[in-house]
């Protein structure tokens, strides 16, 4: 009976850290999506107001709306790919909300994505 309880405890710990890892990646992706969105909206407003006569702006304005939507999500996904491939994220003290990623793992994943 004690062995069974110990096994459930280990499984609970595993799921707790897996859930924390997934939550961290989701939050990271959401923040990147927001940053890219604000940047793209600001860029679009600047170009629309200041460079409204250029042919490039006219071409962008004539694009279907789903293309701008897809560009927004694709750019955010490309920025987040290195962190999505990491599975060795460790979490420190809960009160400080520390996240530890081994620099060698991140360097290898980043070089793989960039192609260096």
Q: What is the CA radius of gyration of the chain?
A: 21
CA distance linking residue 83 with residue 89, whole number of Å: 9
89 φ/ψ sector (left φ>0, alpha ψ -120 to 50, else beta): beta
- The residue among 88, 76, 96, 91 whose CA lies nearest residue 31 is 76
Q: Give tens-digit pLDDT for 41-69.
A: 888 788 878 877 888 878 877 888 888 78
Phi, psi of 90, rounded to the nearest 5 degrees: -110, 150
The mean per-residue pLDDT over the stretch 77-100 comes to 68
How far apart (Å, rounded) are the C-alpha atoms in residues 63 and 43?
16
Residue 100 sits at φ, ψ, to 5 deg, of -115, 125
pTM exceeding 0.75: no
């Amino acid at each position: 009976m004690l062995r069974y309880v110990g096994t459930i405890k280990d499984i609970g710990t595993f799921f707790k850290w897996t859930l924390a890892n997934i939550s961290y990646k989701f939050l990271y992706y959401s923040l990147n999506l927001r940053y890219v969105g604000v940047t793209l909206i600001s860029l679009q407003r600047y170009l629309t107001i200041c460079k409204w006569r250029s042919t490039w702006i006219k071409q962008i304005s004539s694009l279907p709306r789903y293309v701008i939507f897809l560009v927004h999500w694709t750019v955010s996904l490309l920025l987040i790919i290195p962190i999505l491939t990491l599975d060795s994220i460790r979490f420190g003290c809960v009160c400080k909300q520390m996240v530890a990623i081994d620099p060698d793992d991140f360097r290898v994943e980043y070089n793989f994505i960039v192609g260096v």
